[in-house]
Amino acid sequence: MEFPVYLDHNATTPMDPRVLEVMLPYFTSKFGNAASRNHAFGWIAEEGVDYAREQVAALIGCSDKEIIFTSGATEADNLGIKGVYEMYQEKGNHIITLNTEHKAVLDTCKHLEKLGARVTYLPVGEDGLVDLAELEAAMTPQTILVTVMYGNNETGVIQPVKEIADIAHKHGALMMSDATQAVGKIPVNVDTDGIDLMAFTAHKMYGPKGVGALYVRRKYPRVKITSQMDGGGHERGMRSGTLNVPGIAGFGKACELCRLEMQEEAGRLKALRDKLEHAFTAIADCKVNGHTERRLPHVSNVSFRHVEGEGLMMSMKDLAVSSGSACTSASLEPSYVLKGMGLTDDLAHSSIRFGLGRFTTEEEIDFAIASTQKAVAQLRSLSPQWEMFKDGTDHTLTTI
Ligand SMILES: *Cc1c(COP(=O)(O)O)cnc(C)c1O
């Protein structure tokens, strides 16, 4: 076992060596610009991009013509939401999303609000799921876009994407999904799920950082977006800029590996995740956050009451995990995702996210269990609140 043990795969994943192998020639001998039409250097690079585009499309069940390569999911979220808002302005200015979305979606919506958009941020229930009746009630004739994430990055909770898409379509709106955490981990198919636009990224699925994609439906309906980057007209005019050929080739390989291996991998990781949770729930007063069934197989978000999450992480130096969201953990604000699910500040602060991955071993999970149990016991033994809880005199206890 190597230390620290990495259990933060929702923040990023290590690259699969098979992906690196595919990428290497595109840095050296196959260095051409995929847009160079006049010589073999360009053609070879373009061939690599075309092949990768097919590998990416095959994973999500779309045509290669519907894939727009970007620098990652943040850019894809921006391009999809801003691109639809600008393109469909004549139809309306209303966007619906969830208050537990990733910042790449929430901050893009906030930006559009300053430009005249009306945005509804739907709440979620204690289980992290959207209420479909509330969504239906929020739809208006001006609603142009419903953007709801597939699997949540903090809890792994999977939204009812198909039902959400049906409601959006019934009211003439488009359905977009940030599927960054779901693609490559569970089956995602844009046709059966009814998705019109979808953002995802290579580095969360054992590919390289700095490359991702926006899926844009071309038929039933034909979705149009305005570009957010002007220039050479790459990616069918929707995203200018010289293509990141090594990154794209790696992204393609990463997608192919996920398509072939995800079913087995999901089963293995779910068993390890369940072992972890089973051990934790044996610790008194500990709670798994989010719907326990409708959840990505490799994620567990757990609150250890009377223990401060940051402190817990500090006392588990050999374990790389995350408290709250990796993107906001620079601030000590409690996670807005957990608070959005009705957790108190205390409970949100006491939460840890365990994210398992392709190279996680059972030995590592056993180590994680032992070090967490030890650290929780140690911190609780120092906590006056825990003493009061055991004596039955803690009145801050609220069940949620
Ligand atoms: C990681 C993540 C992003 C950002 O992806 P980048 O490729 O790093 O820009 C967006 N949405 C979700 C749900 C994520 O987990």
Q: What is the CATH number of the domain that holds 324?
A: 3.90.1150.10
Place of tokens 């959005």: 340
Our answer on whether the CB atom of 100 is closer than 6 Å to any ligand 1 atom is no
Measured CA to CA in angstroms, residue 107 lies from 100, 102, 103, 328 at distances of: 12, 9, 5, 13
Place of tokens 């800029």: 241
Spatial distance between the Cα atoms of 289 and 154, rounded to a whole number of angstroms: 9
Query: Is 202 contained in some domain?
Result: no
What separation in Å is there between the alpha carbon of 337 and the centre of ligand 1? Answer: 15
Annotated catalytic residue: which of 62, 255, 286, 327? 327
Query: Is 281 contained in some domain?
Result: yes
What separation in Å is there between the alpha carbon of 179 and the centre of ligand 1? Answer: 9
Among 68, 75, 153, 188, say which to mutate for ligand 1: greatest number of ligand atoms within 8 Å of CB. 153
What separation in Å is there between the alpha carbon of 246 and the centre of ligand 1? Answer: 20
Our answer on whether the CB atom of 214 is closer than 6 Å to any ligand 1 atom is no
| Type of residue found at 177 | S
Q: Which residues pair with 70 in a beta bridge?
A: 212
pTM of the model: 0.95
C-beta of residue 294 within 8 angstroms of C-beta of residue 157: yes
DSSP string covering 272-335: HHHHHHHHHHTSSSEEE-S-SSSB-TTEEEEEETTS-HHHHHHT-TTEE-BSS-TTTTTS-SPP
For atom 5 of ligand 1, the residue with the nearest CA is: 73
Query: Is 25 contained in some domain?
Result: no
Which numbered atom of ligand 1 lies nearest the CA of 10?
Answer: 15
Our answer on whether the CB atom of 322 is closer than 6 Å to any ligand 1 atom is no
Query: Is 285 contained in some domain?
Result: yes
What separation in Å is there between the alpha carbon of 100 and the centre of ligand 1? Answer: 13
Q: Which residues pair with 146 in a beta bridge?
A: 96, 175
DSSP string covering 12-69: --PPPHHHHHHHGGGTTTT---TT--SSHHHHHHHHHHHHHHHHHHHHHT--GGGEEE
Place of tokens 């801050």: 396
Query: Is 273 contained in some domain?
Result: yes
Is 327 annotated in the active site? yes
DSSP string covering 321-367: -BSS-TTTTTS-SPPHHHHHTT--HHHHHTEEEEE--TT--HHHHHH
For atom 15 of ligand 1, the residue with the nearest CA is: 153
Query: Is 124 contained in some domain?
Result: no
What separation in Å is there between the alpha carbon of 345 and the centre of ligand 1? Answer: 25
Spatial distance between the Cα atoms of 45 and 34, rounded to a whole number of angstroms: 5
Query: Is 387 contained in some domain?
Result: yes
Our answer on whether the CB atom of 78 is closer than 6 Å to any ligand 1 atom is no
Q: How far is CA 167 from the centre of its chain?
A: 23
Residue of 234, 195, 231 whose CA lies nearest to 216 = 195
Our answer on whether the CB atom of 102 is closer than 6 Å to any ligand 1 atom is yes
- Number of folded domains that form the chain: 1
Domain interval for residue 298: 5-11+263-391
pLDDT in single tens digits along all 400 residues of the chain: 999 999 999 999 999 999 999 999 999 999 999 999 999 999 999 999 999 999 999 999 999 999 999 999 999 999 999 999 999 999 999 999 999 999 999 999 999 999 999 999 999 999 999 999 999 999 999 999 999 999 999 999 999 999 999 999 999 999 999 999 999 999 999 999 999 999 999 999 999 999 999 999 999 999 999 999 999 999 999 999 999 999 999 999 999 999 999 999 999 999 999 999 999 988 878 999 999 999 999 999 999 998 988 889 999 999 999 986 344 455 678 899 999 999 998 899 999 999 999 999 999 999 999 999 999 999 998 877 777 777 776 555 443 3
C-beta of residue 345 within 8 angstroms of C-beta of residue 261: no
What separation in Å is there between the alpha carbon of 283 and the centre of ligand 1? Answer: 32
* Alpha-carbon dihedral 303, 306, 310, 316, rounded to 10 degrees: -80
Our answer on whether the CB atom of 72 is closer than 6 Å to any ligand 1 atom is yes
Q: How far is CA 371 from the centre of its chain?
A: 27
**Main-chain dihedrals φ then ψ at residue 29, nearest 5 degrees:** -65, -35
Spatial distance between the Cα atoms of 190 and 198, rounded to a whole number of angstroms: 8
| Type of residue found at 220 | Y
Query: Is 118 contained in some domain?
Result: no
